[in-house]
A and B are shown apart, each in its own frame.
Chain A
Amino acid sequence: GAVVSQHPSWVICKSGTSVKIECRSLDFQATTMFWYRQFPKQSLMLMATSNEGSKATYEQGVEKDKFLINHASLTLSTLTVTSAHPEDSSFYICSASKGGTGNTIYFGEGSWLTVV
């Protein structure tokens, strides 16, 4: 079946540094991927839509200069948290749709970010 892979699974970084998270669709091409953030005991909140070959579309309240998204190929989107702060500590998950009539969304395993 379709698989979406994220890397790293967890990362600890110092406040003020930048961290990059990768999201790959392993056996299908995804022109669109989505980035979500999930705080403990909360639901997933969409951060942005990543479009291959064009700029990402950010949800209201999400700083595009802080959360840089690059979708350089049909199988890879990256989220870079710039100048990270402790309040950015969260679980980040990406998703991709295989398309077609089913529209099943496949999620990555998620990436835990802790900013100290």
Chain B
Amino acid sequence: KQEVTQIPAALSVPEGENLVLNCSFTDSAIYNLQWFRQDPGKGLTSLLLIQSSQREQTSGRLNASLDKSSGRSTLYIAASQPGDSATYLCAVPLRTGANSKLTFGKGITLSVRP
């Protein structure tokens, strides 16, 4: 059974700091890995999706890496801003298929202090 872990559960940093959010998974046979952002009481917004054949993806100030062999992914946020405050979740689908169900980590709640 796939398990996705995100530690720590919460993180507080001053504005402008570069930071890394970690995600680990137990079954390395993943199709891809996706990072989401969730604002309080809201749905999820997809940030980055890394295919199993890729090592990283970038979008603006965000960079996500994937190391399947070690079962790890990181989300790097450059020059953090108060607007980045949210919960960040990583998720993996099991095996192949465009419609695979996702297993989520519990998320990391990020607070960026002005």
A residues in contact (CB < 8 Å) with B:
6, 31-32, 34, 42-46, 49, 91, 93, 95, 97, 99-100, 102-110, 112
Contact = CB atoms under 8 A, between A and B. Distances in A.
A91 B89 CA distance: 16
Interface residues of B, number: 24
Contacts of A107: 36, 43-46
Interface of B: 31-32, 34, 36, 41-46, 49, 89, 91, 93, 98-107
A57 to B, nearest CB: 9
A11 to B, nearest CB: 14
Contact of A97 (B41, B45, B99): B99
A100 B98 contact: yes
Contacts of B49: 102-104
Contacts of B98: 97, 99-100, 103
B29 to A, nearest CB: 15
Contacts of A112: 41
B106 A43 contact: yes
